[in-house]
Chain A
């Protein structure tokens, strides 16, 4: 019944939905907003998240506390609100961001220097409506979640692994990079797949900034203008389905890569089966 209505109910208007999917503004929104936004935010989220997880697990109380405060803040604030703040609020408070010596301007005027000790000036208002603001906002929020996922992954690795690496004379940084993280990835990847898929969908929140070059805004805008609202939604849904399917395939290969050596696949060679004959010895 349901399935047959897909075909018989003219209001679905599949032909129009497919047309919407192919419109230039939709494709542009898909690429510039949804895909680039997801990739950028996930890159920031995963790398910052791992750094925060390592800080949280370190013995240094300052690092620990900063990591905890970060996770607490960014997990508690809704993404939509965060993006709205980044889009309008920050530019209102600070129209330019100066990178330089702290209190450099005051110091320079006190000492009578010609330079004001500022190395780089960012125009916040120019950035705050661009996709960069969106990527930063979603990335900062994502990092808080990724930090917890990475922390769980790192804790899942047996302590003996780090000890063995250190006993061989590896530095703690190398131990983390070469021994602990690759094994933690086995635990980190599946929930990160979830996060990436959630991120694809959360790019629709970019409208809070506001950024309109984004998939859902563009498809629904066409729906509203043509008074064919549902086909517009269908077009967005189909695109989300396609992107998320591709991501799931990618996740499968990542899991296979990091699962090596953990006995999830059969040994390639029967020689390696336990207790098999020790030929040649």
Chain B
């Protein structure tokens, strides 16, 4: 299965327009230029990690793809759709809020601070968008929500409220919530940065599984080992521009640019959050259990 998707993706790499095609994207906040002309191509099935120091514009770029920020210049296409605008006879017109909402349906997003709906249970969080946005039947949405909870290893928590879950569990629910809309593309905005170190592994394990199933993903992360193992392509950004990009082995192990080198050196001198990331979700859960046992002692 995993191999098959890899092959599809390999053939997709040679033909057709990339799933995400961003050209010369610019964005400023109050005159402060955050993105200074970014080009980015992500092909179907690819996992792209955005790396770079904080303030380099990685998160802003991710938010622009999903139109949580409007761009000041350039264009972004997702699966052939121009995001946020309509090209009518060569002139760009702003899309209505409704049309923008429709474009967002196809794109799942996972936030640094989870942003689960605190007044809804785990299951209700996952069912909310399929029912409210797609008009799915309750029973059907419920069935799929349960399957998704199983997929992220939380099948025993359907009626827990987010406040009753650990950070790692909340982030796994957030991933399931995004997947419930059956997106073509998943955006991850520093999904493990708000987590205690021992909870990082379980979230990365879910993401790794997702990548293996052929999901197209753009991940803003500081987890170098994750980028090295899972990414097909890494993009190093600094000060609003792409400094260098390429396959992870060459960018991370053999950076060409001085800025990349100094950033990576700083990252390596800091203690890494997780030395050994478990191979699969089961391992992560076992590790958590082990941790609990230690806590009990």
What is the interface of chain A, defined by CB distance below 8 A to chain B?
158, 160-161, 163-172, 174, 178-179, 182-183, 258, 260-263, 267, 271-281
Closest residue of chain A to B98 (Cβ to Cβ) is: A171
Q: Chain A residues with Cβ under 8 A from B178's Cβ?
A: 167-168
What is the interface of chain B, defined by CB distance below 8 A to chain A?
66, 68, 97-98, 101-102, 104-109, 111, 113, 115-121, 128-129, 132-133, 153, 155-157, 159-166, 174, 177-178, 181, 282, 285, 288-289, 292, 295
Q: Does B129 contact A263, Cβ atoms closer than 8 Å?
A: no
Q: Chain B residues with Cβ under 8 A from A174's Cβ?
A: 132-133
Report how far A262 CA is from B118 CA in the complex, Å.
7
Q: Assuming A167-B104, A168-B104, A274-B165, is B119 touching A262 (CB within 8 A)?
A: yes
Closest residue of chain A to B122 (Cβ to Cβ) is: A272
Contact of A261 among B128, B161, B292 (CB under 8 A): B161
Q: Does B163 contact A262, Cβ atoms closer than 8 Å?
A: yes
Q: Does B164 contact A179, Cβ atoms closer than 8 Å?
A: no
Q: Does B133 contact A277, Cβ atoms closer than 8 Å?
A: no
Contact of A168 among B129, B285, B289, B292 (CB under 8 A): B129
Closest residue of chain B to A258 (Cβ to Cβ) is: B119
Contact of B97 among A172, A178, A263 (CB under 8 A): A172
Q: Chain B residues with Cβ under 8 A from A171's Cβ?
A: 97-98, 101
Q: Assuming A160-B113, A183-B119, A274-B164, is B156 touching A280 (CB within 8 A)?
A: yes
Q: Does B163 contact A169, Cβ atoms closer than 8 Å?
A: no
Q: Chain A residues with Cβ under 8 A from B285's Cβ?
A: 278, 281
Give min CB distance, B165 to chain A, whole Å.
7
Q: Does A261 contact B162, Cβ atoms closer than 8 Å?
A: yes
Give min CB distance, B283 to chain A, whole Å.
11
Q: Does B107 contact A167, Cβ atoms closer than 8 Å?
A: yes
> What are some 12 contacts across the A-B interface (CB < 8 A)?
A161-B115, A163-B111, A167-B107, A168-B129, A174-B133, A178-B132, A261-B121, A274-B165, A275-B288, A277-B289, A278-B153, A280-B156
